[in-house]
Amino acid sequence: MSKVVVLGTGGTIASRNNPEGHAVASDHVSALLDSVCATAPFEVEIESRDLLMVGSYLLTPADQLGIVRAIQAVFCDPSVSGVVVTHGTDTMEETAYLSDLHHADPRPVIFTGAQNTAGKPSSDGPRNLRDAIAVAADRRSHDLGTTIVFDGLLYAAAATRKRHTTALDAFDNGATGPLGRVDTGVLSLLAKPVRPQSLPVPEELPRVDIVAVYPGADRTLLDAAVDAGSRGIVLEATGIGNANMSFVDAARDCIIAGIPVIVATRVANGDIMPRYGNGGGADLAEVGALPAGLLRPSQARVLLAAALAASSPSEVADIIRTHTHLTVVPYTSVNQTGK
Ligand code: ASP
């Protein structure tokens, strides 16, 4: 029988209303599992552990590294088939991606959560958790890295983002689409990601800030981030990756000072291209800013922090380049080549 370990961190899936009527993480992961078992028993052996009990909007990079280390510790047990992490949806894309960057084991890590709080008839948590456990127990999930299972779809962590504040299909991945579907616990795989080499888990993550570009914005907040100790900057640029001359000058100063700058976009989908001058993406590229490719600012920030922690400054650009080329291959061709 497969064995799945479920790690709880809080989030809406574990939340109930407090006396003021505000949703607060409070259910232990064992209670989440009991609510799923109430509908039908699991056909896998399950162990569970509470790591944290917070809304994911409260997580720090140290908390996120702690989750990554806890996942790694579980995989020291060879009898474990896979790990499920229950997590708030607000920053699931960041923690899942950090886990993916550091995940070297072929066995799967699945993040899941809920849009509606626990204990309500409308709660989507039990379904999502049951699906996530089924995927974690499925041998075909090997080599998928870290994924997110939500509302019947399976997504690679890289480039997946929260797309809706309230809808049950809270996530999507405009770069690769879903890797598969999960229907009442049965997985149909469509694709597998081609995964770059994993990064070593660092002691801590350096400070990396996101600075937004908008009409009238200048380098003031970027300079403030550097003054606050940022070791890397993600520009949340407009369109295809544009800013203005104030940001280009600031990016040049940062790069000369050994502070990498990554250009991501505030647009939901599409790539970054060095097409425009006069403060646009071509000028940012010319001073050495790196494109985030298909990663959105939230995950570009995680990647830059992990790259800075894992390497010397000269290797950061290579890591960014490797990890921003996202490729998936159809599941059938993966099978035929036996990979
Ligand atoms: N809305 C969030 C959730 O779905 C709150 C959080 O991220 O903890 O869990």
329 lies in some domain? no
* Token pair recorded at residue 168: 């049950």
Please state the domain count of the chain: 2
Mean pLDDT of 242-263: 98
Distance from residue 27's CA to the centre of ligand 1 (Å)? 14
Residues labelled as active-site residues: 12
**pLDDT at position 335:** 55
| Ligand 1 binding pocket, CB closer than 6 Å | 11-12, 55-57, 88-90, 113, 115
Is the pLDDT at 249 greater than 60? The verdict is yes
| pLDDT-above-90 percentage for the chain | 92
Same domain, 256 and 173: no
CATH of the domain at 126: 3.40.50.1170
Is the pLDDT at 119 greater than 90? The verdict is no
Mean pLDDT of 129-156: 97
Burial 13-46 (b: 16+ CB within 10 A, else e): bbbeeeeeeebbbebebeebbebbeeeeebebeb
Ordered alpha helix ranges (H), 178-312: 220-227, 245-256, 281-286, 297-310
Distance from residue 128's CA to the centre of ligand 1 (Å)? 14
Question: 286 is in which domain, residue-wise?
Answer: 208-323
Same domain, 174 and 44: yes
* Probe residue for ligand 1, chosen from 15, 52, 94, 169 as the CB with the greatest number of ligand atoms within 8 Å: 15
State the average pLDDT for the chain. 95
332 lies in some domain? no
Per-residue pLDDT of 84-113, as tens digits, reads 999 999 999 999 999 999 999 999 999 999
**Overall pTM > 0.75:** yes
**pLDDT at position 168:** 98
